[in-house]
Structure 1
Amino acid sequence: MPARKTASPAGDAEPHYLGHRARLKARFLDSGPESLPDYELLELVLFRTLPRGDVKPLAKQLIAAFGSFADVLAAPYERLVEIKGVKDATATDFKVIEAAARRFAKGAIGKKTVLSSWSALIDYCRTAMAFDDRERFRILFLDKKNGLIADEVQQSGTIDHTPVYPREVVRRALELRASALILVHNHPSGDPTPSRADIEMTRTIVQIAKPLGIEIHDHVIVGREGHASFRALKLF
């Protein structure tokens, strides 16, 4: 007669999180990332650097602290490691994933005519800037066929202001022999609504650039709550 199996002592039982990790990975592979809320997608990232233990509480704490999956990835390294349980390797993983997302989004517009892939352009701008905690002013320099010549952050500022010098914008366009520009900046507050200063600055750039044969296709403001197009709003 075969020996009867004896029950394992309570202390030998597998930790509950092991089954959870396997199930979460399977759901991600079977149903895709859209099937997971932000905290569960964050758990999958945390599995890499925290191979033991239940990471769900930490994932939820990070979402609560920063706001969303994207906000966690975009959070400054120094703020991430202030969260109890976030190791240096974990914070580094977040920043690598953020950089990869930006590189991927940039690649989507780099090989195409920018104006023929407007949705890809907006996705790139939001990925690159919408979750930044400081205002940055970015310029996309285009050739005669609206192909991308260069993508440069010209100025970085504070949480609610970036100094922009219209003549410097146009001077750089002439250096690169650009035929057109798309101006982009972010509002760390999250609200992409253009301010009076934004509108006046944009109109000044248009006035200086037009006699030199440089067209301003648009000025796009991005924020956590969406984006605003000056062209669509008929602000210039």
Structure 2
Amino acid sequence: MTVNERSGIYKVSNSFLPSVSKRSKQFTTLNGAGHRGRMRARLLQKGGESLQEYELLEMLLYLTIPRKDTKPLAKHLINSFGSLDGLLSAEDKILTKANISQEFIELIHLLKQTTERLVAPDSYNRPYMKHWKDVIVYLNEYPLKCEINNKKILRLLFLNNQQRLICDEYIVHHGVNSISLIIQKALKLYAMNLITIHYVSGNEFSAEMRKNEAKFALTLQSSTRHFDLNVGDHIIYLDSQYFSLFKNKKLSFEKEN
């Protein structure tokens, strides 16, 4: 019995085979192709419900391990991570320590993103925020859920390339030191546009505070350009009113009428 190193297919000498009249159906390969075919047939005929977790994982591993029995590895990974969900939600550094190939890690990322897109609301039902009035209507309809008190709250509206909302969240505002975190969040969401709202506690907004806000807005706008992320506006919420720093496409602190 010899092995073709390129294809991984075993070839058996005909001298060891019985005559055609006595032989059952001949298998052309001994590398698990028949098993894989049966697994695919079960999936197509009976659906994913007919497969156990390790079998689903086994089939996923087919995509990155073309010629090898993946059942032992699938069972080992389920035992190590507790479940298929535990494996798919694990961090990259943990997956790497488990000796999982980079190709399979990339496949896991693809599965995560695909799942998130499928369960996300239809993009056409998401709020549209191309104009100032659209943004204000949304902010008034969905006010900040936390108490401002003395906290410096920065609300982040991440938008897609059609100016529709992807995600609405808030962080503690640390000025320019917050920019790195904002960019990381935008990249994870594949956001193309961003609107930031700074909720100022109290009724005072000094000249120094205005200067710091302008510096933050300009630095944010400059930094995000390197990541194809457009900052549509930086808004100040003060004394129950909204003020735009980007009104008329220039940095100006003006009250919107």
With the length of structure 1 as denominator, give the TM-score of the two structures.
Answer: 0.45
Which has the higher relative contact order, 1 or 2, with Cα contacts under 8 A spaced 6 or more apart?
1
Higher-Rg structure is: 2
